[in-house]
Amino acid sequence: MLNPDRALYYRLGGYDAIAAFCDELLSRLTKDPTLAVYWRGKCDDSMRKDRQLLVDFLCMIAGGPVNYSGRDMKTSHTGLGINEDEWNIFAQHAIAVLNDLGVAEQEKEEVLSLAASFKSDVVETATHGKATH
């Protein structure tokens, strides 16, 4: 039984487990017919950079010994025009990946509520308010 007092980072299985989660999630998001537009036009190296930033960020907010050197969530998502429907699609993918990886219920809830705590920084419009893309 995992020690429930340990940081979420360790309970999830540390860096490699969180990196695997990010890889699977990004693979789904970039293939999703609605969300793919957000990464269209990025070269492989930019995708690797974004992936590394996501890994570092999740490790850090899960309480791991990792230093995130990227921008805050409001700065890095403002202007993308992400709406509520798109957030819900993102959340469904995150749940599916957590299930696929066999993450336990408690840790699953913690990951999802951590992600949800950034929702107001990421979502700009209630619904279909995008002017571009």
Applying CB under 6 A, the residues found at the interface with ligand HEM are: 35, 38-39, 50, 53-54, 57, 70-71, 76-77, 80, 82, 86-87, 90, 115, 118, 122
The whole-angstrom separation of Cα 42 and Cα 55 is 18
Shortest distance in whole angstroms from residue 50 CB to ligand HEM: 6
Shortest distance in whole angstroms from residue 95 CB to ligand HEM: 13
Q: How many CB atoms lie within 10 A of CB 27?
A: 13
Sign of the dihedral through C-alpha 96, 99, 101, 103? positive
Nearer to ligand HEM, 10 or 118 (CB): 118
Closest by Cα among 35, 18, 37 to 97: 18
Q: How many CB atoms lie within 10 A of CB 50?
A: 17
Nearer to ligand HEM, 20 or 35 (CB): 35
Shortest distance in whole angstroms from residue 96 CB to ligand HEM: 14
